[in-house]
Amino acid sequence: MRSVTFFDGSGWRAGVVEAVDGRARLRDDVPSTGLTPLDGVIVGGFTDHHVHLQLVDHAQLAGSRLGRVVDLGGTPDVLRTLAAHRGSVAIGFAGAFLTAPGGYPSDRSWAPKGSVREIADADAAAEAVAEMADAGASHIKVARNSVAGPVLSDDLFRTIVRLAAHRGLPVVAHAEGPCEAPQVARLGAALLAHAPFTERLDDEEIARQAASVSWISTLAIHDGPERGSRSTTCDDSTRQEAPCATAPTWATGRCPST
């Protein structure tokens, strides 16, 4: 038996590890004084915080190093079923994308049938958030992609954040287009589904976001040689102490404050 430091998914804790039937077993018991410590630390399976299980062969999860995945956009009933029969990998999900009428990704061929809810007003927002929460969602996914089409108004975005908070659900935002990443942070998004990639953020904005928003360091879901924004994403992530290693190519822009 050894004392050990382990990560429980939220923070570091002290415990003990012992051999039982030829296998190591971790317990969160308080180590007794004088117990020999284990060199290093113990972590569980890794979490991939941005997946789309309906776009991949999710059966391969069982053979991966992942302990948990979070699906950030799909058909709620399908995802609820997958989560209920998850096997060795835990599945969290946001359910459908919430977007403006005609907004991204409602016109995308890759979006599974039933994976988008077009939100025209506060009543539609309340209905969609309730639907996702009742389906067992762990997050609410909102898309604001001004490059691809119309986006939710600031007031409607705030309404979704408020409704989601009432159900205990953080809002994850797909922010694409000039100034969208700073704006969704100001409107109450708890997480960005991608590290900002439309423009390079200045140091002041990065410091502001570091205090209130978590970035999911997704480099690509749909990748290819024509996509040239990775260097911007990597540079901003590096300045957030995330592991990327390419230089910026875009100039810093200024966004209006709200």
Question: Which two structure tokens, joined as six digits, stand for 153?
Answer: 């108004």
Residues of the chain within CATH 3.20.20.140 domain(s) are 46-193
Higher pLDDT, 27 or 121: 121
Superfamily of structural domain 46-193: Metal-dependent hydrolases (3.20.20.140)
Q: For the sheet with 37-42, list strands across it.
A: 23-27, 12-20, 2-7, 37-42
Lowest mean pLDDT among 46-60, 180-194, 217-231: 217-231
pTM for this entry = 0.79
Q: 15: helix, coil or strand?
A: strand
User: What is the pLDDT confidence band of residue 26, given thresholds at 50, 70 and 90?
Assistant: confident
CB 124 within 8 A of CB 142: no
User: What is the pLDDT confidence band of residue 197, given thresholds at 50, 70 and 90?
Assistant: confident
